[in-house]
């Protein structure tokens, strides 16, 4: 297997996941800014053109960040970053769904439609008039999460999971592109600092 990777929060999510698992994979850097992922031969293997992707030993390519992490967890179940029991896995997936649908996808679209609009305009439909609303949704959902993080170390309580990795990678990316989260959210800020102190976050 080898990891097809690049800059950006989604490739970082998989790198952090690998580091937390203690898995080492060979990797190939794809030129995201040069749109190498948007043309052959990359799109011959991954028609959606996303990064990262995981090339299997038989030549098949898995894309979608969470699908890659799910596959790696099945191959390497310990330490469990999705869950060791059906209940833990369901709880993690519940929170991952809330994080992605409520926060990270809106943050990424706010970037695509504002700061990154010239990069994304040739690649997809951009909706600049939606930016303020998208930012507002992110702020609302983070405020909601802030209340729920009271007394908890991680999103799933005492279990560090893929939900923490996905949200951290997105919020850290947002800070670098002019879309920071409200640091007055005390619980979110403390959680963010805890994740950021992990070796996987510092190396990933």
Domain 2-75 has CATH 3.40.30.10: yes
pLDDT of residue 204: 66
> Residues 101-126: pLDDT tens digits?
999 999 999 999 999 998 888 888 89
Spatial contact of 187 and 147, defined as CB atoms under 8 Å apart: yes
pLDDT digits (tens, 9 = 90+) for 65-109: 999 999 999 999 999 999 999 999 999 999 999 999 999 999 999
92 is written with which tokens?
Answer: 């993690």
Rounded to two decimals, the pTM is 0.95
pLDDT for the residue numbered 118: 87
> Structure tokens of 36?
């190498």
The CATH 1.20.1050.10 domain(s) of the chain lie at 86-203
Residues of the chain with CATH 3.40.30.10: 2-75
37 by Cβ neighbours in 10 Å (0-12 / 13-18 / 19+) ranks as: buried
Q: At what angle do helices 131-148 and 105-112 cross, to 10 degrees?
A: 150
Q: What is the pLDDT of residue 40?
A: 93
Q: Which CATH number fits domain 86-203: 2.60.40.420, 1.10.357.10, 3.20.20.140, 1.20.1050.10?
A: 1.20.1050.10
Q: What is the pLDDT of residues 7-57, one digit of tens each?
A: 999 999 999 999 999 999 999 999 888 888 888 999 998 898 889 999 999
Mean pLDDT, range 160-179, rounded to an integer: 97
What's the angle, vertex CA 136, arms to CA 130 and CA 140, rounded to 5?
Answer: 145
Assigned token pair, 126: 């951009």
pLDDT of residue 121: 87
């Amino acid at each position: 297997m080898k990891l097809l990777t690049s800059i950006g929060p989604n490739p970082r999510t998989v790198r952090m996941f690998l580091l937390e698992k203690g898995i080492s994979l060979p990797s190939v850097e794809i030129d995201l800014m040069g749109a190498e992922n948007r043309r052959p031969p990359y799109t011959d293997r991954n028609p959606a053109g996303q990064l990262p992707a995981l090339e299997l030993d038989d030549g098949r390519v898995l894309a979608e960040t969470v699908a890659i992490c799910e596959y790696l967890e099945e191959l390497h179940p310990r330490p469990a970053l999705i869950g060791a029991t059906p209940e833990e896995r369901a709880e993690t997936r519940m929170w991952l769904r809330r994080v992605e649908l409520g926060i990270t996808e809106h943050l990424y679209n706010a970037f695509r439609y504002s700061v990154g609009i010239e990069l994304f305009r040739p690649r997809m439909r951009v909706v600049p008039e939606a930016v303020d609303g998208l930012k507002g949704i992110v702020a609302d959902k983070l405020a909601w999460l802030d209340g729920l993080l009271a007394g908890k170390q991680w999103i799933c309580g005492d279990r560090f999971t893929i939900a923490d990795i996905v949200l951290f990678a997105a919020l850290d990316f947002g800070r670098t592109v002019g879309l920071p989260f409200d640091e007055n959210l005390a619980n979110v800020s403390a959680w963010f600092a805890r994740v950021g102190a992990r070796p996987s976050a510092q190396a990933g």
